Structure 1
Amino acid sequence: MNLNRRKLLSWFGLGWLASLLPSSLIGCSEANTPTASAPTSTSAPESVAAAPSGNFKEIGTVAQLDKDGALVSSDKKIAVVRNPNDATKVLAVNATCTHKGCTVAWKSANKEFVCPCHDAKFAADGAVRQGPADKPLQRYAAKIENGQVLVSA
């Protein structure tokens, strides 16, 4: 077989393209799509019925929630407030700002979470009210049971 330079370079080019094909296909596979564990939609919070039973953990008491206006988990990752639209229900969100990761604080006067780092504002259900954050806070199923506030996270 007589190979000239042009034919040799053609074979190298073809081999190079063939070596890129598997990585291109992997990048397009469903295995690399985001998981459902981090919802980012701005729709209504998920219902307690949608949460798996038995996975709720106690965050605090209803009395403490009513006294302080909000409950924060011991690890400072979950914040719970009364639902402004229905005071018999509670809303739970991840207290970590989606902009730079600071811990948001509940401001009961405005009924919103505020990031102390860059002043991003979030509604009680985690929806973005004011940037620089552009993604809502992650929501969790929450309920009141026997005077305790329980969250499925």
Structure 2
Amino acid sequence: MKRRDFINWVGLGGIASSLPVAICLQQRFAIAACSEQTTSDVWQTVGTVAELDQNGQLLVKKFPSVNVLLVGTSESENLIAVNPTCTHSGCTVTWNTEGNKFACPCHGAEYGSDGQVQRGPATEPLKTYTAKIENNSVLVKPN
């Protein structure tokens, strides 16, 4: 075997052996090659009640690998939690309290409080999360 062939073979083997780990980290669900527990069934703290009550919303960037926009207060019956990344353009949507909807400032897409598209150009809904308050912490779990 030539040296160049050996180096290419070893390099390809290294890439192939790291592929299952990369898939696990990006997809967040278990596949045969994944050995870690999935994050989809774990509640994660994204802030405090005081932070949420201050503005009636809480924007957390990079929770654990995505963004979360949580709307409500400690007195709210239902907390609303979505990934605020517009599914059309990737901009961060904002919460419109008067219209009870999320709006994208880039191209005007609108989403209902359930994340469903109300007005295009977006065609895919926002990813939603389940949220709750426990003690003084605001917790979120991907659906």
TM over 0.5: yes
TM range (shorter): 0.5 to 0.7
1-structure distance, mates of 2:91, 2:61? 16
Say which structure, 1 or 2, has more relative contact order (CA 8 Å, 6+ apart).
1
Gaps of 5+ in 2: 1-26, 30-39
2-structure distance, mates of 1:74, 1:100? 17
Instruction: Give the 5 Å matches for 1:1-153.
Output: 52=41, 55-75=42-62, 77-82=67-72, 87-153=76-142
CA RMSD of aligned residues (A): 2.5
Give per-residue Cα distances to partners, 1:16-51, cap 9 Å, x unaligned.
xxxxxxxxxxxxxxxxxxx897xxxxxxxxxxxxx6
Number of residue-to-residue matches in the alignment: 102
1-structure distance, mates of 2:139, 2:82? 12
Percent identity between the aligned chains?
43
TM-score (norm 1): 0.58
Partner of 1:28: none
TM-score (norm 2): 0.62
Partner of 1:16: none
Gaps of 5+ in 1: 1-34, 38-50
* 2:98 counterpart SS class: coil
- Following superposition, the deviation at residue 62 of structure 1 comes to 2.2
